[in-house]
């Protein structure tokens, strides 16, 4: 009887595995096709200065539109893209698109910084910096308008050799932000030793708590205090309510990003907000 039970478990496990495998293989094929056809789109989420309430920049977030009009979100394909390596052409495409967008805004007389998320697997590529600076040069944009967002894990995992890469990128004028701060290895020392410009406080400290208030004001205050002491810019992510926005301003956080300000939107819609009377829109 015991053996029969074991067999049954084994069978169930197998079926589930097979299903999972089928899903992964389909996704892998679809990802390769999408990379080839450049089927992705960049959405942009504004960041505001909490004192002036003006837009100070945007974060680029990849979207994968489907033929039926639905949109696949990064959480459903980025992990697989990282595993297969498709994240490298996706990242190159995102940087290319961001540079092109900065140039387009420059031609309209606007200076709007764009932050692009970069996977550690991509950053580790020996030709990463050369390719990045080639794009900046080709579009003739101010490198200071481009920012790379790297998670704590990415920055720590890559170790000492990465500090050198980051330094090279920053020497060229491109900015670096530490994303989702407070959720990864979370050593405060990293803020001091890593060559970075900006700290993005993870959204779990901002929203998702009870009511409309900040879910963890004490931790936010500590991160803001620390970042200020190290002369780093601080951005709160995932700001969903007016109460959270006001509390962040009171704490002295520089900038905010979140649904209460704007969700990530396609460039066409952002252009309508930024240049209401332009021929672009």
Q: Summarize as ranges the residues that interact with Mg ion (CB under 5 A).
A: 117, 149, 179-180, 237
Closest CA to 45 of 272, 259, 273, 279: 259
Q: Are 113 and 57 in contact (CB under 8 A)?
A: yes
129 binding partner (options Mg ion, ligand C2E, none; Cβ < 5 to 8 Å by kind): none
Go through the chain and tell me how many residues it has: 281
Residues contacting residue 169 through CB under 8 Å, at least 6 positions apart: 129, 132, 148, 176
Question: Which one, 10 or 259, has the nearer CB to ligand C2E?
Answer: 259
Question: Which one, 75 or 126, has the nearer CB to ligand C2E?
Answer: 75
Question: Which one, 26 or 186, has the nearer CB to Mg ion?
Answer: 186
The encoded tokens of residue 172 equal: 């060229």
Among the listed residues 238, 253, 254, 255, the single contact to ligand C2E using CB under 6 A: 238
| Smallest distance from ligand C2E to CB 150, Å | 9
Please give the size of the binding site for ligand C2E, defined by CB under 6 A.
Answer: 25
- Contact string (CB under 6 A) for ligand C2E, positions 207-226, x = contact: x-------------------
Question: Which one, 106 or 170, has the nearer CB to Mg ion?
Answer: 170
Q: Are 40 and 34 in contact (CB under 8 A)?
A: yes
Question: Which one, 34 or 178, has the nearer CB to Mg ion?
Answer: 178
Q: At 106, phi and psi to the nearest 5?
A: -60, -45
Q: How far is CA 266 from CA 13, 58, 83, in A?
A: 42, 12, 27
- Contact string (CB under 6 A) for ligand C2E, positions 52-71, x = contact: ---------xx---------
Closest CA to 118 of 131, 134, 105: 131
61 binding partner (options ligand C2E, Mg ion, none; Cβ < 5 to 8 Å by kind): ligand C2E
Question: Which residue blocks in the chain are alpha helix, DSSP H?
Answer: 2-37, 78-84, 87-107, 120-123, 128-138, 152-157, 159-171, 188-193, 217-229, 242-251, 267-274
Among the listed residues 31, 34, 44, 45, the single contact to ligand C2E using CB under 6 A: 45
Distance CA 250, CA 246 (A): 6
266 binds ligand C2E (CB under 6 A): no
Question: Which one, 257 or 271, has the nearer CB to ligand C2E?
Answer: 257
- Scanning residues 2 to 31, which ones bind ligand C2E (CB under 6 A)? none
Q: Are 198 and 235 in contact (CB under 8 A)?
A: yes
- Contact string (CB under 6 A) for ligand C2E, positions 130-169, x = contact: -------------------x--------------------
């Amino acid at each position: 009887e015991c053996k029969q039970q074991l067999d049954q478990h084994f069978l169930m496990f197998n079926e589930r595995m097979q299903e999972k495998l089928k899903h992964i293989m389909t996704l892998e094929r679809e990802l390769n096709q999408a990379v080839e056809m450049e089927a992705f789109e960049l959405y942009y989420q504004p960041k505001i200065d909490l004192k002036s309430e003006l837009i100070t920049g945007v974060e680029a977030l990849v979207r994968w539109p489907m033929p039926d009009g639905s949109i696949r979100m990064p959480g459903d394909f980025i992990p697989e893209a990282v595993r297969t390596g498709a994240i490298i052409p996706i990242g190159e495409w995102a940087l290319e698109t961001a540079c092109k967008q900065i140039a387009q805004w420059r031609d309209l007389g606007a200076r709007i910084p764009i932050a692009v998320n970069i996977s550690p697997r991509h950053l580790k590529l020996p030709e990463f910096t050369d390719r990045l600076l080639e794009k900046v040069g080709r579009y003739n944009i101010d490198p200071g308008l481009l920012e790379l967002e790297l998670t704590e894990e990415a920055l720590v995992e890559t170790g000492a050799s990465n500090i050198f890469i980051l330094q090279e990128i920053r020497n060229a004028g491109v900015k670096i932000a530490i994303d989702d701060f407070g959720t990864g290895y979370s050593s405060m020392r990293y803020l001091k030793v890593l060559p970075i410009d900006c700290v993005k406080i993870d959204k779990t400290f901002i929203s998702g708590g009870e009511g409309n208030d900040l879910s963890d004001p004490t931790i936010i205050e500590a991160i803001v205090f620390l970042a200020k002491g190290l002369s780093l810019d601080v951005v709160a992510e995932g700001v969903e309510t007016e109460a959270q926005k006001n509390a962040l301003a009171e704490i002295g956080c520089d900038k905010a990003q979140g649904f209460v300000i704007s969700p990530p939107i396609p460039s066409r819609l952002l252009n309508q907000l930024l240049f209401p009377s332009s021929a672009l829109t």
